[in-house]
Amino acid sequence: KAGVTQTPRYLIKTRGQQVTLSCSPISGHRSVSWYQQTPGQGLQFLFEYFSETQRNKGNFPGRFSGRQFSNSRSEMNVSTLELGDSALYLCASSLAPGGDSPLHFGNGTRLTVT
C-alpha cells in the first residue's frame, strides 16, 4: 500500500504570496490532518478533515485554510505569507477521525518564506 504522499517536497515563497500544499492519503483512509512542525514548537495541529468536512481546527489565523475532496485528497492553503510561516508542513491520514486512530504521516512539505 502506498503511503501518504505530499507535494511538493520543497517550496520557496516570498512574503505576501500564497501557497497551496497537497496531500494524498493512504488508500481507504478518509481522515486527513495537517500539522506545522518547527524547531522547539514540535507539531502544532492545524486542522482535520473527514468526509470533506472540517471536523477540528487548531489555533492558527484565518490565513491558513484547507479542504478535502471526495477522493479524500486534501489541500492546505496559506495566504499572505509571513516569515514565521517557514516550517515543515506535515499531512497525516487515518482510517477514522479523532484522536485514537493511529496517524500515518507523509514526509512533509518544507516551506521557506523569504
Partner 1 sequence: QQQVKQSPQSLIVQKGGISIINCAYENTAFDYFPWYQQFPGKGPALLIAIRPDVSEKKEGRFTISFNKSAKQFSLHIMDSQPGDSATYFCAASRGGYQKVTFGTGTKLQVIP
Point out which residues bind partner 1 (CB under 8 A): 4, 33, 35, 40-45, 48, 50, 55-56, 58, 90, 92, 97-100, 102-108
Smaller CB separation from partner 1, 27 or 101: 101
In whole angstroms, how close is the CB of 30 to partner 1 at the nearest point?
A: 13
* Cell numbers found for residue 53: 468536512
Q: Minimal CA–CA distance to 25: which of 97, 99, 100? A: 97
Smaller CB separation from partner 1, 16 or 98: 98
Smaller CB separation from partner 1, 42 or 62: 42
Based on the number of CB atoms within 10 Å of its own CB, is 22 exposed (0-12), middle (13-18) or buried (19 or more)? middle
Q: Minimal CA–CA distance to 92: which of 50, 44, 18, 34? A: 34
Task: Evaluate whether 73 touches 2 at the Cβ level (below 8 Å).
Answer: no
In whole angstroms, how close is the CB of 102 to partner 1 at the nearest point?
A: 5
Smaller CB separation from partner 1, 73 or 104: 104
In whole angstroms, how close is the CB of 89 to partner 1 at the nearest point?
A: 10
User: What is residue 58's three-state secondary structure?
Assistant: coil
Task: Evaluate whether 34 touches 75 at the Cβ level (below 8 Å).
Answer: no
In whole angstroms, how close is the CB of 13 to partner 1 at the nearest point?
A: 21
